[in-house]
Each structure stands twice: as structure tokens, then as C-alpha cells.
């Protein structure tokens, strides 16, 4: 096992180091990283209020930039629907449908939105543009909120340690980059994550995670290329236990949801985690590529079936598509909460999913 220590030490890559040694090398003494750390991180007083307002502004701009392509596509076609006081005619509803389909909202979901809007506007003779707009927005927010109650318990609500976060998805969806973003986020909260290179298929994948680990200042635990992914997870959990680390985030190889043996391997990783850390995996996040449109919906269904335990979705690359409407379909068709959106390639290009902010960024 290789332990690349980027947390508080210099990078280290000296072949076999066992978990026990890691414990001796890295941590001694009590380590309390719980709600208090997050509270401290979020505590607002005096100049902190300014900081928070800057942060809010940064988040708003990430939303706006992330959804700019979709918004652009929607605004022309929706503009016609929203423009001027009007009677909502069948033609206008057809235009609304078309606009949403163009933004990759699935047909069934579009029907749902349109019927809610039509129900809402039914009793009004003429509808002002703002009324139509807010009715469409409200229908979208309702659908997006349907999975909210199913959010997995975060590390702050989970007493068991280490908290194990398993990251899965098909090839190239953005898993490793999302792990870096999550790790960076945890670091901001005062929680030092351990990153686990369980994508052992390619040396480059291990290298990629190591580079991210170094950038965000997180330790990376890795075996050599071709070794068993479940074994590296086993070692990482052992290391986290001895070092009293709070969270391990497991990077897995991309796999097609149609390849049964690879899906079985994921199930094995999950079982090994469960056998070695109480309640693990505490979350299994499916990373979807927003640019793959409706195919992402199919992937999510298959992964959920195989792993029986996807707890949430991260939709990466929302900035790269004009079809961000797929988010609404995913929220509608899968009974899974959307947790984050990836809005770019940098570590801070990750926004916590929020139905209202999404609808605001999309429709204005």
C-alpha cells in the first residue's frame, strides 16, 4: 500500500507502508472533527458576515455560469411564452413544451410541468408574463424538490467513523474530479479526508488522484496498478481507523452499467466497506455527466438496480451543456436526491444542489 501524505506532510511514495505504520507516522493524540468544526467554519460574526456575503455571491455566480448555456437556449424559446399579457392558448402550451424538450427535459416530465402550469393558470382569463413565469418556475421547483427528503445523512449527522463515501459512475463522467472537489469542500469544513485510489485499472488513474490529493492537501492511499480495488478499500479503512480520520472517499474505475462483472466488483467493494466500517458505505454517490443527456437517466437506473444503494447523484459538467433540463428529468424519474452540480474543472466548481437556485439560474 502506498500512502501519499498530502495532509500535513510532504508527499510520500516509498512503496509498501502498512496501515499501522501510517497511524504511527501521521497522527497521535485526540482528533475531534465533528459538528463543531463545521459550526466554526460557518460561524458568522463581524467581518465574517462580509466573507459570507462574498461567498454567497461566488455561489450565485457559479450557478449562473454553470447554467448559462441551458439558460441561453431556454430564454429565446421561453421568452415567447412569457412575453406580454396573454391567454394561455394550446399553441403557447405547445411552445412551452417544445422549449423544455429542447433543454432536454424528458417528455413525461414536460407533460407533468405543462399540466401543473395549465391547472395553475386555468381560472385566469389573461395571465401577466410574471404570473406565467412564476407558475413554470414553481412547477419545476416542485419536481426538483421531490427527492430532497431522501438526502443521505451527511458526515455531520453520522456518528460512525470513518464515514465511507463511495464514488461510482461510467467512464469519464467526472468521478475523480468530483472527489477532488468534495475533498476540498471537506477541508474547508476542517475535516481532513483520505482519498482512496480504488481505480486500479490504470496507473494514470492512481496518478491523477494523487495529483489532486496534493493540490487539495488530502492524503491518498493507493496500491499498485492491477491490484484488487476491494483490498485498497480494506487498507484505507484500516488506516483511517488507526489514524482516527473522519472520512474516506473511494475513487472507483469508470464502468459501463451494462457490464455485469464490473458492476459485481462494485458490489464487492461495497461489501468490504460494510464489513470493516460500521454502517459503510455511508453514502454511494453516482456521478453523472450532464452532457450525456437522457442517457444519464438510463445509467442511473441501472446503477441503482445493481448496487441497490445509490444514495445520491452528482451531476457533473452542467456548465458544458445547453441541456441542463436533464436535471429536472432525473429528479422526476429517479427517486434519488441530486446533491451537487459540477460547474467546471476547478476544485471550487461544485455547488450544493438547491431547487430554488436552479430554477432562478435557469429561468431568472
Bond prior to 162 in cis (omega within 30° of 0):
yes
Q: What is 47-113 written as a DSSP string?
A: HHHHHHHHHHHHHHHHHHHHTHHHHHHHHHHHHHHHSSSB---HHHHHHHHHHHHHTT--HHHHHHH
Question: Dmax of the chain from CA atoms?
Answer: 75
Least Å from the CB of residue 172 to ligand GTP: 4
Q: Which does 345 bind (CB under 5 to 8 A by kind): Mg ion, ligand GTP, none?
A: ligand GTP
**Minimum distance between the CB of residue 37 and ligand GTP, rounded to whole angstroms?**
26
Q: Which is nearer to ligand GTP, 193 or 342 (CB)?
A: 342
Residues 334/149, Cβ–Cβ less than 8 Å: no
Contact with Mg ion (CB under 5 A) among 158, 165, 173, 176: 176
User: Looking at 2, 69, 71, 175, which residue binds Mg ion (CB under 5 A)?
Assistant: 175
Alpha-carbon distance values, 28 to 15, 21, 213, 277 (Å)? 23, 12, 22, 21
Task: Give the residue closest to ligand GTP by C-beta.
Answer: 254
Output 71 or 175, the one with its CB closest to Mg ion: 175
Segment lying near Mg ion (by CB under 5 A), choices 9-17, 52-60, 169-177, 181-189: 169-177
Asked if residue 200 binds Mg ion (CB under 5 A), the reply is: no
C-beta of 166 vs 238, nearer to ligand GTP: 166
Nearer to ligand GTP, 62 or 243 (CB): 62
CB of 346 to Mg ion, least distance (A): 17
Query: Quick one: cell of 53?
Result: 456575503
Q: How far is the CB of 279 from ligand GTP (least distance, A)?
A: 26
- CB closer to Mg ion out of 191 and 197: 197
Q: Which residues contact ligand GTP by CB under 6 A?
A: 169, 171-177, 199, 205, 254, 316-317, 319-320, 342-345, 349
The secondary element (H helix, E strand) that includes residue 133 is helix 129-144
* CB-count burial class (<10 Å; 0-12, 13-18, 19+) for 25: middle
- Using the minimum distance from each CB to ligand GTP, give the nearer residue, 237 or 347: 347
Please, is 68 exposed, middle or buried when counting C-beta atoms within 10 Å of its C-beta (0-12, 13-18, 19+)? middle
Specify the residue for cell string 497521535: 28
Residue 363 CA to residue 82 CA, distance in Å, equals 10
Q: Which residues bind Mg ion (CB under 5 A)?
A: 175-176
Amino acid at each position: 500500500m502506498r500512502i501519499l501524505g498530502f495532509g500535513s506532510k510532504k508527499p510520500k511514495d516509498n512503496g509498501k507502508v502498512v496501515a499501522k505504520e501510517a497511524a504511527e507516522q501521521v497522527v497521535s493524540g485526540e482528533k475531534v472533527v465533528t459538528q463543531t468544526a463545521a459550526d466554526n467554519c460557518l460561524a458568522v460574526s463581524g467581518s465574517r458576515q462580509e466573507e459570507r456575503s462574498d461567498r454567497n455571491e461566488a455561489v450565485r455566480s457559479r450557478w449562473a455560469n454553470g447554467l448559462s448555456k441551458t439558460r441561453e437556449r431556454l430564454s429565446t424559446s421561453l421568452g415567447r411564452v412569457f412575453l406580454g399579457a396573454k391567454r394561455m392558448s394550446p399553441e403557447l402550451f405547445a411552445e412551452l413544451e417544445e422549449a423544455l424538450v429542447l433543454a432536454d427535459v424528458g417528455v413525461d416530465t414536460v407533460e407533468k410541468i405543462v399540466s401543473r402550469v395549465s391547472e395553475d393558470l386555468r381560472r385566469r382569463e389573461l395571465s401577466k408574463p410574471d404570473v406565467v413565469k412564476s407558475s413554470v418556475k414553481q412547477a419545476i421547483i416542485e419536481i426538483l424538490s421531490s427527492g430532497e427528503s431522501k438526502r443521505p445523512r451527511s458526515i455531520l449527522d453520522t456518528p460512525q467513523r470513518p464515514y465511507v463515501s463511495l464514488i461510482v459512475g461510467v467512464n469519464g463522467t467526472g468521478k475523480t474530479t468530483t472527489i477532488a472537489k468534495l475533498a476540498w469542500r471537506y477541508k474547508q469544513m476542517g475535516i481532513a479526508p483520505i482519498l482512496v485510489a480504488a481505480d486500479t485499472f490504470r496507473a494514470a488513474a492512481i496518478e491523477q488522484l494523487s495529483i489532486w490529493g496534493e493540490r487539495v492537501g488530502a492524503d491518498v492511499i493507493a496500491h499498485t496498478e492491477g491490484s484488487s480495488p476491494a483490498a485498497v478499500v480494506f487498507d484505507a479503512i484500516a488506516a483511517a481507523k488507526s489514524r482516527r480520520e473522519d472520512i474516506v472517499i473511494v475513487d472507483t474505475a469508470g464502468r459501463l452499467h451494462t457490464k455485469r462483472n464490473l458492476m459485481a466488483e462494485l458490489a464487492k467493494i461495497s461489501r468490504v466497506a460494510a464489513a470493516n466500517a460500521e454502517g459503510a458505505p455511508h453514502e454511494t454517490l453516482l456521478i453523472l455527466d450532464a452532457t450525456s443527456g437522457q442517457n444519464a437517466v438510463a445509467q442511473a437506473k441501472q446503477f441503482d438496480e445493481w448496487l441497490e444503494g445509490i444514495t445520491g447523484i452528482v451531476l457533473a459538467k452542467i456548465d458544458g451543456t445547453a441541456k441542463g433540463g436533464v436535471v429536472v428529468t432525473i429528479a422526476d424519474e429517479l427517486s434519488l436526491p441530486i446533491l451537487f452540480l459540477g460547474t467546471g474543472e476547478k476544485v471550487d466548481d461544485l455547488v450544493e444542489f438547491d431547487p430554488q437556485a436552479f430554477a432562478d439560474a435557469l429561468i431568472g
